[in-house]
Chain A
Amino acid sequence: MTPLALTDAVAAYGATRVLGPLSLTLAPGERVALVGKSGAGKSTLLALMYEQWRQREVALMPQALGLVDTLSVFHNVYMGRLDRHPWWRNLVTLARPWRDDIAKVDVLLERLGIADKRWTPCGELSGGQRQRVAAARVLYQRAQVLLADEPVSALDGPQAASVMQALADGYPMAVLAMHDLDLALRYCTRVVGIQGGEIAIDQPSQRLSVHDLQPLY
């Protein structure tokens, strides 16, 4: 596995530059937490990374989650692997899922505590449950890299920790936009702080405390 690099990335809305130019390299086995004020450009940066790295196997967990409300939890999770199956098999799965697919998805749903919702349409779930479905989907996808935007923002203490643990186990290599600094320091190996569209802090987690990150806000 090779490192992934983003070089001189720039984002602009019309004539106003909102981000960059900035460069960042992601080494194998490195989990980066993106922190900074809301509006600092974390989501934009993640979108840029996805654009640059999409040729590699990248799993994406957008902030809006991108779930299909009318499809069941199972199908939303299954969508993570649509590209691994022929189209006709995907079509059949809509009407009648394969038993071993259900079993595989169930393992993840059990771990995240939503196995009883397997056949519930996602539109009927609470915000926290939806976020766990989206997490199950990226875990099911088993890509090489995870790009996640506020993956546990709708979950409370212990649940947030268990989902973070699951994501960390599934993806040694990841970039996660976080607003909970404790969780960021606990589950990521490196912290990148964004301020004014530029990188203000870039340190391994062990060398940082929540206090060090306060100036960003």
Chain B
Amino acid sequence: MSMPISATVRVTLGLIVVALACLAFGDFEISAHDPWQELGRLAMGLIQPNFSSVDFLGEAILRTVAFAFVGVGLGAAAGLLLALLFQHLWVRTFCAFIRAIHELFWALIFLQSFGLHPLTGVLAIAIPYAGIFAKVYAEILDETDPEPARTLPRRAGRLSVLLYARISQAWPHLVSYTAYRLECGLRSSAVIGFVGMPTLGFHLAGAFAQGHYATVGALLILFYVLIGTLRLWVRPQLLPLYLIAAPFCLGTGLPIVWSNVSRFFTYDIVPAPLRHGEGIEGLLPWLGDLLVHQALPGIWNTLLLTQIALVLTGVLAMALFPVISRHFTGRLGGSAGHVLLVVMRSTPEYLLAFILLQLWGPSMLPAVVALALHNGGIIGHLLGRRSNEIALRQDAPRGVERYAYEVAPRVYGPFMALLFYRWEIIMRETAILGILGIATLGFYVDSAIQEIRFDRAMLLILITALLNIGVDILARRLRAKLRLRHTINRQSC
């Protein structure tokens, strides 16, 4: 008589058990002197923001927008070209590789070669975005109807066929996806400020360091307004204007020293034993040391944090989606819910983690909470929209029963698919949060760079990329096993 346990339930329980086990190994203490007072000061800053330093705020916003436009623009152009070659295995592998490296890691790499030149920030965004654009553009082009291409005159040139029969069909989808990535680009652009680019992150870190919470509040509010009003100021007719103007708004930075660039790529990143002519005998101990003392602890902590953040993300998403679901809220409550989820998902993890770290002191707690808030907001938003497509029967129950029997079981499949989809993204971000001082892979990368050991930093970045690719493959397998063939909403970054 007893009820069998379904595969979905087993996987859910498995993830929870693993996360609880990870909890025992992690460090989650609040070490700040008075975290609530800090939080209170930040809240006061948000309530009474200081918009008086116009130059400062203006520059932060202008540079953030400029880097986003140039980076996403270049990434989209390169991505489209790569998408046309996507049937080749080497192109797919190359794209998977460049998108597995986070934009902040790219920024760290180029900072060591090009220095604080705008090119650093532009490439840091453009390269990983090109990898993502290539993949999604290729998928979109694949989904177009092949019939029109077949009916064209046989001797029509390849480019004409492509333009008339494929790209023309896919155009609206390509445009809407690119527009969405622009929003992601704004977030990326803000975040590369934390490593020295003149965007929002840079100014935010400065204001925090000086304790100017009113300015912090002003910066955050401007950022939300910027993203919230994206649809109003990004118009197709205005795009060419923005794209032409953006490169001139990047600032000048410091000049590139080309000898540094070539030295970095031909000398600095070559493993030290090879550089000193010690050959394979010297390389093996060097590799072993790096693996045992940096890569493995980094991987361990990255996995630990990822699993905890993943489950917390899931819990938040399932708890929060009713706030925008018409089955649970009225019009007024729904609007408030929308605002809540928009704020949650438009705050980049890195920015949230930075703020929480200032408030609570260094431990894994700020990272986990930041990851869960951002990703929970995204999944909650998508689930809420999904639940609004459900038509309930006239006699459907209300309240807890409506949630547990009617709505949650129907959205649980899509929920798992989305969660697995974000697994890789959460892991990418977890590795990156190490730069803030949490001992994930990013921490060891950053330390190696501080010690001017670029060879080690590069190898650790490579390991991080491989880890991301591995989790992506695992998540895809799990999705297939659970038959979660829900069309994934691509609009999530």
Complex: A119 Cα to B413 Cα, angstroms: 18
Which residue of the partner chain A has the closest CB to B394? A50
Q: Is the CB of A96 within 8 A of B3?
A: yes
In this assembly, does B470 line the interface, its C-beta being within 8 Å of a C-beta of chain A? no
**Residues B393 and A62 in contact, CB atoms below 8 Å apart:** yes
With a cutoff of 8 Å between Cβ atoms, the chain A residues found around residue B401 in the complex are 82-83, 87, 90
Q: Which of B4, B392, B405 contacts A71 (CB 8 A)?
A: B405
Q: How far is the CA of A79 from the CA of B398 in the complex (A)?
A: 12
Q: When the two chains form their complex, are residues A119 and B4 in contact, meaning their CB atoms are under 8 A apart?
A: yes
B4, B404, B413: the one contacting A70 at CB < 8 Å is B413
In the complex the two chains form, what is the Cα distance from A74 to B2 in whole Å? Answer: 12
Complex: A165 Cα to B421 Cα, angstroms: 49
A99 proximity list for chain B (CB < 8 A): 1
Q: Which of the residues B4, B392, B394, B404 comes within 8 Å of A94, measured between beta carbons?
A: B404
| Interface positions of B from 393 to 435, Cβ below 8 Å from A | 393-397, 399-401, 404-406, 409-410, 412-413
Q: Which 10 A-B pairs have the closest CB atoms?
A: A66-B393, A70-B409, A87-B400, A60-B395, A82-B401, A82-B397, A71-B409, A68-B409, A50-B394, A62-B393
- CB contacts (< 8 Å) of A83 on chain B: these are 397, 401
Considering only residues 60-102 of chain A, those with a C-beta below 8 Å from chain B are: 60, 62, 64, 66, 68-72, 74-75, 79, 82-83, 87, 90-91, 94, 96-97, 99, 102
Q: Is the CB of A72 within 8 A of B3?
A: yes
B53 within 8 A of A: no
Q: Are A75 and B405 in contact (CB under 8 A)?
A: yes
Please classify how large the interface on chain A is, using the bins under 10, 10 to 19, 20 to 34, 35 or more: 20 to 34
Residue of A at shortest CB range from B1?
Answer: A102
Q: Is A186 an interface residue (CB 8 A)?
A: no
16 CB-based A-B contacts, threshold 8 Å: A50-B394, A54-B394, A62-B394, A66-B392, A66-B396, A70-B413, A71-B405, A79-B397, A83-B397, A83-B401, A87-B400, A90-B404, A91-B400, A91-B404, A94-B405, A119-B3
Whether B395 pairs with A121 at a CB distance below 8 angstroms is no
User: What residue in chain B is nearest A67 (Cβ atoms)?
Assistant: B393
- In this assembly, does A183 line the interface, its C-beta being within 8 Å of a C-beta of chain B? no
Measured CA separation A138–B201 after assembly (Å): 59
Whether, in the assembled complex, A58 has its beta carbon less than 8 Å from a beta carbon of chain B, the answer is yes
